[in-house]
Amino acid sequence: MSHKSEPIHAALFGAAGRMGRVILHEARQLATIKIVHGFDPAGAGQYFDDLRIEPNCYGVRDHVQVAIDFSLADAVLDNVACCRKGKVNYVCGVTALGDAAQTAVREAAKDIAVLHAPNMSPGMNLLFALVAEAAAALPEYKMYLSESHHTKKLDAPSGTAVRIAEIVHDAVGKRPEIFSLRVGDVIGEHTIILGGHGERVEITHRADSRAVFAHGALRAAEWLAHRPAGFYSMADVLGL
């Protein structure tokens, strides 16, 4: 007789934020993963259905196997420390991390599985791979990068744009000029342009809904939940 497998138990940092709410909503549609802890000092005491949001991570219970972090850069040090102490694998989607937080995330990978991605969209991570290939094939072309987001986005350029620039630099030893625009309620749009004699190549990704990032984060969490200690990326999740 077959038995239905239990869903993966997950914790969520930044549960009361814009992305946190979307992740909570999208997770409710899945049978494979269940958010059993939500942490957010700004939303402590609030409820999402039957989930009460806690102020901070003082420890994880309920056999939590993985945590997703969409909080703030300043909170990552404490969040990853909590996961490392509790032996909970850690998915981080927070951008604009300082040097101390980046080091802590890398160090935690010695004891737990850690996945850090500046963009959780599967399509954007495919763009990363395409950009590397295009830049390597056309190193003499002039390269530009434009990115647009909503007016409430704090960092400019975006973490995704910074990552694209790093990929280009790794491929050809130079960085594209970045143009950032904060306008309206744009979810996210990135375009890399490679211009040569008589032609140009444009590779664009547009996010039409925050749900795409939530789906990517949940997919990453499911993939990472039972992985051994180490540092992983969305490319690993997608097999790129």
Quick check: is 34 catalytic?
A: no
Residue with tokens 């694998």: 89
Fill in the DSSP letter of residue 7.
P
Catalytic residue among 9, 37, 149, 205: 149
Burial class (CB in 10 A: 0-12, 13-18, 19+), 8: buried
Q: Where are the alpha helices (DSSP H) in the chain?
A: 18-27, 76-86, 99-108, 122-137, 159-172, 211-224, 234-238
Q: Distance from CA of residue 32 to its chain's centroid?
A: 20
Quick check: is 153 catalytic?
A: yes
Amino acid at the residue 233:
S
Contact partners, residue 214, CB within 8 Å, separation at least 6: 19, 22, 23, 25, 26, 27, 120
Catalytic positions: 149, 153
